[in-house]
Structure 1
Amino acid sequence: MTRPPTAPDARATDYVVSLAQVTKEYAGGVKALAGVDLAIGRGELLGIVGPSGSGKSTLLHVMGTLDRPTSGAVTLASHDVNALSDRRLSALRARHIGFVFQAFHLVPSATALANVAEGLRYSGLPRRERQRRAITALDRVGLGDRMHHRPNELSGGQKQRVAIARAVAGEPDVLLADEPTGALDSASGAAVLDLLRELHADGATIAVITHDLELAASLPRQIRIKDGRIAADLRQGDA
């Protein structure tokens, strides 16, 4: 059964991110998003799935306020994104969103601890608090004994755990994970997914963007994207 695309998880008490009739067009009339309605409730774990060119990456950028929509409304943590200046939008993003990317984006010369602490540089927190939060986040993802290792001393799965620690250290309202297992072997990928499920069980709101239908189907909610539109909004157990 396909549910209305704006329906949140039953456990959610409010929306962290919502989109209403969002479009995104690029030069040459290319329409990457074509009237998307989507709401993510606090405490949800969902997969946003679709083939290459479906619009899922554009949706990630719009949800994450990395890109503004051509039309329609985007609300993040009760703030109207379209009404904010670039400076205020950057501050809102830093406070409310954590990003995890397939390529890790770690500083090669920095330790795991320094990589995570650096992610908090624009949070306004004093250095000692940034350090404390980085240590806590690395412990949380099971890397308390690897925090002084540099990326070249870590496995692919461990690098992704560092990236996840960096994303959650600021205690964001929503974690956006873009193909978080795409660069990993199957065992490491499964371990990263287990970690995301653990974070969700602790109350984190997580959206996983992927091309993997099997991965998306294993999550409590899956949003299927096709040709810039939501083709289906499904819960586990739906036929």
Structure 2
Amino acid sequence: MTPSPVIELRGAGKSYPGGVHALRGVDLTVEEGELVAVVGPSGSGKSTMLNLMGTLDRPTTGTVRIAGYDVSELSDARLSALRARHIGFVFQHFHLAAGRDAVDNVADGLLYAGVPPKERRARAREALAGVGLDHRRSHTPNELSGGEKQRVAIARALVGEPRLLLADEPTGALDTASGALVMELLHRLNASGTTICVITHDNEIADALPRRVRFRDGAIVSDLHSGPRTGSRTEGTGACARVEGAGSRARTEGAGS
């Protein structure tokens, strides 16, 4: 059987009281292993797209299927389970818990997956090693650079081995060097099989990705491909394990990572 797309929108629209139409009849398919930029200026609809792709909101019209599941047909409890099993989130401002070390922050990504505490911490350590932070795992957020915080956030998003990673302005709070390292890591993760959507207003970041879906006024205005999809998920291997070695290639703290 042919696997279903990771993301499939058909005529998807989202409206709010007062006649605000944030999305208008969007058709979009993202296949397994793609690396996609969803790009557009503020108010273009890309944040609404993030909410629909992440099952944080439901469409007003049309259908949204994530990992083969129709979002409109699921209860809130089943949507939460779908997110926990299939989707990882990375945000611009990290959202790490102050006073908790990197291992605990990453282990929190498994809180709703029914994983015992000891196993959560073991998998968190493995995930941190996969993003090159094994040597920083006992450090709290205030002891980490911006680039390191974002890599902890990526490890947290990947520790549950999601089918889809949604990265919302992942370099927006970083300096140029740290941002470049984070994007390099996302490319490596995609090369090892993770499907990734990067939501951004930065055309330079978008133009460096193999597919760019551009939004304006709630609609897709272009969908361009510059090459074949990079990754293809392999059964039985974890996303973080597949980028083992990223740490050996990453720059040190003093280089702005």
* Interval containing the TM-score (normalised by the shorter chain): over 0.9
Q: Hey, what does 1:24 align to over in structure 2? A: 14
Q: Larger deviation: 118-127 or 30-39?
A: 118-127
Q: Which residue of 2 aligns with 1:141?
A: 131
Q: Which secondary structure does the structure 2 equivalent of 1:203 belong to?
A: coil
Point out where structure 1 has 5 or more consecutive residues left out of the alignment: 1-11
Counterpart residue identity of residue 193, structure 1: M
The residue number in structure 2 matching 1:43 is 33
Match of 1:83 among 65, 73, 77: 73
| SS class of match (1:28) | coil
2:64 counterpart (41, 62, 74): 74
Q: Kindly, what percent of the aligned residue pairs are identical?
A: 62
Matched residue, 1:33: 23
* 1:230 to partner: Cα distance: 0.6
Q: Tell me, in whole angstroms, the C-alpha distance in 2 between the residues paired with 1:232 and 1:104.
A: 30
Which residue of the partner structure matches residue 115 of structure 2?
125
SS state at 1:15 partner: coil
1:229 is aligned, of 201, 219, 242, to 219
* Post-superposition offset of 1:133: 1.3
Q: Contact 2:13/2:22 (CA < 8 Å) preserved in 1? A: yes
Residue 171 in structure 1 maps to residue 161 in structure 2: yes
**1:115 equivalent in structure 2:** 105
| Amino acid paired to 2:110 | L
1:191 and 2:181 correspond:
yes
Deviation at 1:130, TM superposition (A): 1.2
- Contact kept? 2:4, 2:68, Cα under 8 Å: no
Any gaps of 5 or more consecutive residues in structure 2?
Answer: 228-257
Residue-pair matches, total: 226
CA distance, structure 1, for counterparts of residue 181 and residue 144 of structure 2: 15
Counterparts of 1:41 and 1:141, CA distance in 2? 24
**CA deviations over 1:4-32 (Å, ceiling 9, x no partner):** xxxxxxxx954111111000001111000
Runs (4 or more) in structure 1 with deviation over 2 Å come to none
Q: Deviations over 1:203-223 (max 9, x none)?
A: 110000000111101001010
Tell whether the 8 Å contact from 1:156 to 1:183 is kept in structure 2 after alignment: yes
Q: Which residue of 2 aligns with 1:5?
A: none
Query: Secondary structure at 1:122's aligned position in 2?
Result: coil
CA distance in 1: counterparts of 2:213 and 2:172, whole angstroms: 19
**In structure 2, how many angstroms separate the alpha carbons of the residues matched to 1:217 and 1:155?**
26
Q: Deviations over 1:53-82 (max 9, x none)?
A: 000000000110001111111111111111
Give the Cα–Cα distance (whole angstroms) in 2 for the partners of residues 22 and 132 of structure 1: 40
CA distance in 1, matches of 2:46, 2:135: 36
- 2:167/2:197 contact within 8 Å kept: yes
Contact 2:4/2:67, CA 8 A, preserved across alignment:
no
**Matched residue, 2:195:** 205
Contact 1:217 1:236 in 2 (8 A): no
Structure 2 distance, partners of 1:93, 1:117, is 16
TM normalised by structure 2 equals 0.86
Which digits, 9 at most, give the CA deviation of each residue in 1:130-165, with x for residues without a partner?
Answer: 112111110000000000000000000000000000
Q: Is the 8 A contact 1:101 1:180 kept in 2?
A: yes
Equivalent-residue separation in structure 2 for 1:14 and 1:41 (angstroms): 8
Query: Given residue 130 of structure 2, which amino acid in structure 1 is its aligned partner?
Result: R
3-state SS in 1 of match to 2:170: coil
Q: Tell me if structure 2 keeps the 8 A contact 1:112–1:148.
A: yes
Aligned-pair Cα RMSD in Å: 1.1
